[in-house]
Amino acid sequence: MATPERRVAVILDLVRSRQASDRKDLHDRFAAALNQVNEEVGAIQPLAVVVGDEAQGVYATLGGAIDAAWRVRLQLLPEHDARAGIGVGTLEVLDAATNVQDGPAWWAAREALQAAEEAATRPGSSGVRTGVRAAQDDPVARAADVAVRCRDAVVGSLPDTARSVLGGLMRGQRQQDIADRLGISQSAVSQRATRADVDVLRTVATDGHRLARIDAAEPVLNAFTYRRDAQALEEADIPCMPMHTPDSLLDDPHLRAVGFFSPVEHPSEGTLLSMSVPSTWSHSPPGPTRPAPRLGEHTAEVLREIGYDEAAILAVTQGGVATPAVANGAA
């Protein structure tokens, strides 16, 4: 008798499917998501609905299984969501004609699914949608379980629009196409795409093969740790704030709320973000005046203010003493 091979089983379950106003539409979207992911991720047994709102599949590697389960979520978010149990172990085909299977991989996947569902009921981990278990002790599976839970927590903390942007980007959509679908500007899509947590999700957390490596999970753990610690400090009424990167600063909730950044049109550089004056004035609040000057744009104006006539200005600029105004778009 042949020795059963090590496989990775996946069980997917739609979240709160009974509350859907149109269950047939939800089922159709679920089936379409599975078909799309089956085209993108190779599987030993492609994902397929087995009963009601549950689907199952089998993969050769843990990374492939994590990748497939995550891609299904991306297809469904933000309107719907799916929970995933991923089990590492052997499996046995009990009936080849009907493909009835059993074995430790499926038992571990069911245990992982139940663990993810239970975790989502606890404060602080309501966003957990994925669990990883191994039939035998496996440090890689343990690390992957921590990493996917942290990834799920970060995803759960994102606004719906940011999740929609993330899903579109991971499906290879252009920013302008995402903007048109969501009814927002391309600039708004760009700002959400460059926020720190979305960037982590795009570069590490969305790659199942990297999450299946212990060392690659660190960026995800760091992103989750900040959110967890910040929440604890805020609940204790202790002031705190993140250390921003230049990119994440553009999407700071407070700065967005007070309108600190505003778009301005530059005559040669296009749309730029301008900063407000960080002070309050009672009767004459300062506002944006004009964009940063181009090279030599105000040379003649400044020389006139100090008493030069047109002939003197021409002599100074032609002699190379001062830079004349540069035409739009010129370097």
Could you list the pLDDT tens digit for every one of the 331 residues in the chain? 456 678 999 999 999 888 888 888 999 999 999 999 999 899 999 999 998 899 999 999 898 899 899 989 988 888 889 999 999 999 887 787 877 788 999 999 999 999 999 999 987 788 899 999 999 888 888 888 888 888 888 888 788 888 888 878 877 788 899 999 889 998 888 888 776 567 667 665 555 555 555 445 555 555 555 565 666 666 667 677 667 777 778 877 788 888 888 888 887 778 888 888 777 777 777 766 677 787 888 888 888 999 999 888 888 888 777 777 665 544 4
Dihedral angle sign, alpha carbons of residues 32, 35, 40, 44: positive
- Dig out the tokens for 30 from the structure: 């679920």
Count CB neighbours of 281 within 10 A: 8
Distance CA 23, CA 16 (A): 11
Give the model's pLDDT for residue 280.
75
Give the model's pLDDT for residue 109.
97
Give the model's pLDDT for residue 3.
62
Reference 197, options 166, 168, 174; nearest CA is 166
- Dig out the tokens for 226 from the structure: 């900040």
Domains along the sequence of the chain with CATH: 6-235 (3.30.70.270), 293-321 (no CATH)
Give the model's pLDDT for residue 12.
97
Give the model's pLDDT for residue 75.
86
Using only the alpha carbons of the chain, give its radius of gyration.
27
Backbone region of residue 246 per phi and psi (left: phi > 0; alpha: psi in -120 to 50; beta: other values): alpha
| Pairing status of strand 82-90 against strand 130-134 | parallel
Type of residue at 97: A
Count CB neighbours of 54 within 10 A: 16
Give this prediction's pTM.
0.62
Kindly give, in sequence order, each residue whose CB lies less than 8 Å from that of residue 26, ignoring residues fewer than 6 positions away.
14, 17, 20, 53, 80
Listing DSSP states for 187-249 in one string gives HHHHHHHTSHHHHHIIIIIT-HHHHTSTGGGHHHHHHHHHHHHHHHHHHTT--------HHHH
Give the model's pLDDT for residue 329.
46
Type of residue at 309: D
80 neighbors 14 (Cβ within 8 angstroms): yes
Distance CA 282, CA 297 (A): 33
Site of tokens 């391309």 = 186
Tell me how far CA of residue 91 lies from CA of 9, 39, 49, 225, 301, in angstroms: 9, 24, 19, 36, 81
Distance CA 74, CA 164 (A): 8
| Pairing status of strand 261-266 against strand 270-275 | antiparallel
Give the model's pLDDT for residue 330.
45
Q: In residues, how long is the chain?
A: 331
Give the model's pLDDT for residue 108.
96
44 neighbors 91 (Cβ within 8 angstroms): no
Give the model's pLDDT for residue 110.
96
- Dig out the tokens for 93 from the structure: 């085909």
Kindly give, in sequence order, each residue whose CB lies less than 8 Å from that of residue 148, ignoring residues fewer than 6 positions away.
66, 70, 130, 131, 132, 211
